[in-house]
Amino acid sequence: MVASWRESMRWQHTWVGLVLGALLFAIFWMGSLSVFDKEIDRWMMPATRLEPPESLSLAPALASARKVAPDASRWRLMLPTSRSPQMRLYYPDAGGDLQFVDLEPGTGRPLPPQGTLAGSEFIFPFHFSLHLKAGQLGYWLVGLAGMAMLSLLVSGLVVHRKPIQDLFTFRAHKRLGRANLDLHNLTGVVGLPFHFIMTLSGLVIFVNIYFPDAATLAYDDAADPQGRFIEEGLGRFSRPPAGEPGTLAPLEPMLERARAAWSGEGPAFVRVWHPGDAASYVEMRRSNQNMVRINRDQLYFDGGTGEVLFRFEAMPLMKTQRFISGLHFIQFDHWPLRWLYFGGGLSGCVMIVTGFIFWLQARRKRHAGQGAFRLVEGLTVGSVTGIILATLAFFVANRLLPLEARFAGYERAALEVWVFFLVWLGAFVHGWLQRSDAWRGQCWAIAMLAVAAVALNAVTTGDHLLKTLAEGYWPVAGMDLMLLAGAAVAVWSARRLTQHRAVRLREVEFG
Amino acid sequence: MVDGLLLLAVFACAYTGMAWLALSQERHWRAVRGGTPGRARIRRLRLGGALWLLLSLVWALLRDAAHFGVPLWVMALVAGGFAVALALTWKPRCIEVVTALRH
């Protein structure tokens, strides 16, 4: 048994941090990148580097939908925004799986498929689901990590003893152990508001998954509590197809009515249910660009007459939940906040890696030879520099694989994901073999891959940095600049690690 | 233009407020100014620091209204805190600049 409350908190902080640190780093890293998911999309999908359209016309896009997915039971058209200039058509294929194709916003013509999941379909879902779909395992692991993170923030404050007195203290010039712990405390305590709000709101987003019986408890007298919850909480309208052909009324008047209903704001997407059927209907969901809340405002129109069938706006409790979610999702247009979130997320990454290093430093002398210590050493390298390396390999693969690439039955998009996971796995193996020397090697590899990604973007798309900077095309220029900045940090770290190693070797020789 | 200036004001006030609060702690006062701050000075620095932070909130609310302004302010405080900690470590001169007023 542990002696005191503070000791028990220290024990909790040490071991929960160790067990879930790798997972938390992956979530923080992918979350930090996710605030720029659309910009990563532009970088990885050169065909979508378009000017946002000046006016919106839906008819050409609908004509494309009829060609691409004539038999689909619904089409969802994501409308262009300042960050995503293309139109994206989602539709279920014959097997019921959701497919998408990007359309040129003006002409509605399908853009050449880019064969990538990019930021919004790989990096962003990785952040909250780890791409482990079976039994929603990924969601639950992330939820567990989120709860653990909240408890780590609390126990960290207790263990710290003097969080206020040491608030601004960073003794970078002292020995590594001191500087590392200062950095852990600094990123933890100064960044606490961000870490706490993000972790809590992240859990609130998936309340339906983490608290699956909530609907049953709230609507225990209803025949179908889950359905009733969706109806009242999230809004839903549906009607079966008539089985007879019908024509779709023009969508422009419906758009006008939606804008009028939503104080001038347009929809984020338009969904046509049962296209081509006499009972078809059109759903519009209000855009989130100008509000924090991920709203549930919906309008449904009759496909034949264009009359409003149903209007929904969430009730106060759901609006609150949606506000908290929106704070996390940052889908609204606010560039200063977007950059601040990015910085906050990276400070969380620093907090986690310094925590790992503290654990290792405290035990290096006594346990260096033991298997468990070596296991953690490799785990740390693989989960920190390894995932960064894997992400960069994902970018590089995106620029190297030809558009029609296929291998062993896998589509191009899946190949990129394979590259990611294989490089990540390789980084773990490298970490276990090379131990603490692996940091240096992986830092050099990160620098080289980051520079290679910038160079490959210039060669394969012609949008080199000078051009994008001159044109002020920030999605690609910003991504390239961040890659170069990352490379610079990696080189600096690798050189510091080399010096550190030289000192250590001298100590061994002359010690 | 106005938006940009207001944004600058949000960050400048958050940074200045954090710098004042940092100097109200003996360790940082000694490192930047030398000697020890008196009790009255510590009180003034804390009160002044809090006022700077409040002023930062005012600019944030003026720029973005409550729904975006409050998150912006909270994040500006975090950024200001990091900036002050890094300045104390590497460029104490940057702390002196914003705390040179009489207090």
Tell me the per-residue pLDDT of A328-379, one tens digit each, with 9 for 90 and over: 999 999 999 999 999 999 999 999 999 999 999 998 888 878 888 999 999 9
Distance CA A262, CA A285 (A): 10
| pLDDT at position B103 over 90 | no
Nearest CA in chain A to B24: A165
| Cβ-nearest to B22 among A168, A172, A340 | A168
Chain A hits for B64, CB-CB cut-off 8 Å, are 334
Domain boundary among A62, A97, A113: A113
Is residue A447 a contact partner of residue A385, using CB atoms and an 8 Å limit?
no
- Give the residue from A227, A342, A237 showing the smallest Cα distance to A282: A237
Q: Å from A292 to nearest chain B CA?
A: 7
Domain boundary among A61, A96, A113: A113
Is residue A361 a contact partner of residue A176, using CB atoms and an 8 Å limit?
yes
Average pLDDT over residues A8-12: 93
Is residue B76 a contact partner of residue B20, using CB atoms and an 8 Å limit?
no
Nearest CA in chain B to A291: B67
Chain A hits for B3, CB-CB cut-off 8 Å, are none
- Whether residue A90 is contained in a domain is answered as yes
Q: Which token pair is A264?
A: 């001038």
Average pLDDT over residues A226-248: 91
SS3 string, B54-96, reads: HHHHHHHHHHHHHHHHHHHHHHHHHHHHHHHHHHHHHCCHHHH
Distance CA B72, CA A334 (A): 9
Counts of helices then strands in chain B (DSSP H, E): 4, 0
Q: Which token pair is A486?
A: 């990352």
% of residues, chain A, pLDDT over 70: 98
| Cβ-nearest to B7 among A167, A168, A336 | A336
DSSP bridge partners of B36: none
More confident site: A471 or A57: A471
Distance CA A76, CA A212 (A): 27
Distance CA A283, CA A298 (A): 7
Contact across the interface for A191 and B82, Cβ inside 8 Å: yes
Distance CA B79, CA A336 (A): 11
Tell me the per-residue pLDDT of A421-458, one tens digit each, with 9 for 90 and over: 999 999 999 999 998 889 999 999 999 999 999 999 99
Among A32, A162, A164, A168, pick the best mutation site for testing chain B contact (most B Cβ within 10 A): A168
Is residue A286 a contact partner of residue A267, using CB atoms and an 8 Å limit?
yes
Q: Which token pair is A127?
A: 């952040």
Q: How far apart are the first and last CA of chain A?
A: 40
Tell me the per-residue pLDDT of A69-100, one tens digit each, with 9 for 90 and over: 999 999 999 999 999 999 999 999 999 899 99
Residue A508's pLDDT band, with cuts at 50, 70 and 90, is low
Its ipTM equals 0.95
- Give the residue from A130, A56, A121, A38 showing the smallest Cα distance to A331: A38
- Is A333 exposed, middle or buried, given 0-12, 13-18 or 19+ CB atoms closer than 10 A? middle
Q: Which token pair is A51?
A: 């000017």
For residue A27, what pLDDT is reported?
98
Residue B97's pLDDT band, with cuts at 50, 70 and 90, is confident
Counts of helices then strands in chain A (DSSP H, E): 18, 7
E strand or H helix that includes residue A465: helix A465-471
CB atoms within 10 A of CB B78: 22
Tell me the per-residue pLDDT of A127-183, one tens digit each, with 9 for 90 and over: 999 999 888 999 999 999 999 999 999 999 999 988 888 899 999 888 888 999 999
Chain B hits for A168, CB-CB cut-off 8 Å, are 18, 22, 25, 28, 81, 84-85, 88
Q: Where are the domains of chain B?
A: 2-98
Chain A hits for B75, CB-CB cut-off 8 Å, are 194, 337, 340-341, 344
How many structural domains does chain A have? 2
- Whether residue A189 is contained in a domain is answered as no
CB atoms within 10 A of CB A120: 18
A444 CB within 8 Å of a chain B CB: no
Average pLDDT over residues A23-32: 98
Distance CA A249, CA A307 (A): 10
Q: Which token pair is A424?
A: 């990540």
| pLDDT at position A289 over 60 | yes
- Whether residue A83 is contained in a domain is answered as yes
- Whether residue A469 is contained in a domain is answered as yes
| Cβ-nearest to A292 among B18, B68, B78 | B68
Residue B45's pLDDT band, with cuts at 50, 70 and 90, is very high
Q: Which residue has the tokens 């379909």?
A: A121
| Cβ-nearest to B68 among A172, A190, A334 | A334
- Whether residue A67 is contained in a domain is answered as yes
Chain A hits for B98, CB-CB cut-off 8 Å, are none
Q: What is the mean pLDDT of chain A?
A: 93
- Whether residue A271 is contained in a domain is answered as no
Contact across the interface for A292 and B71, Cβ inside 8 Å: yes
| pLDDT at position A503 over 70 | yes
Q: Identify the domain containing residue A477 by its residue range.
A: 368-511
Chain B hits for A167, CB-CB cut-off 8 Å, are 22, 25, 81, 85
For residue A511, what pLDDT is reported?
43
More confident site: A213 or A337: A337
Chain A hits for B88, CB-CB cut-off 8 Å, are 168-170
Q: Which DSSP string do the residues of A416-451 spell out, in sequence order?
A: HHHHHHHHHHHHHHHHHHHGGGHHHHHHHHHHHHHH
Contact across the interface for B88 and A168, Cβ inside 8 Å: yes
Is residue B48 a contact partner of residue A314, using CB atoms and an 8 Å limit?
no
| Cβ-nearest to A340 among B64, B79, B81 | B79
Q: Which residue has the tokens 């912006």?
A: B72
Contact across the interface for B75 and A344, Cβ inside 8 Å: yes
Residues 6+ apart with CB under 8 A from A249: A301, A302, A303, A304, A305, A306
Residue type at A199? T
Is residue B96 a contact partner of residue B87, using CB atoms and an 8 Å limit?
no
SS3 string, A358-397, reads: HHHHHHHHHHCCCHHHHHHHHHHHHHHHHHHHHHHHHHHH
Domain boundary among A67, A86, A113: A113
- Whether residue A383 is contained in a domain is answered as yes
| Cβ-nearest to B78 among A171, A193, A332 | A193
| pLDDT at position A26 over 90 | yes
Is residue A230 a contact partner of residue A236, using CB atoms and an 8 Å limit?
yes
- Whether residue A459 is contained in a domain is answered as yes
| pLDDT at position A2 over 80 | no
- In b/e form, how buried is each residue of A396-410, taking b as 16+ CB within 10 angstroms? bbbbebeeeeeeeee
- Is A37 exposed, middle or buried, given 0-12, 13-18 or 19+ CB atoms closer than 10 A? buried
Nearest CA in chain A to B11: A336
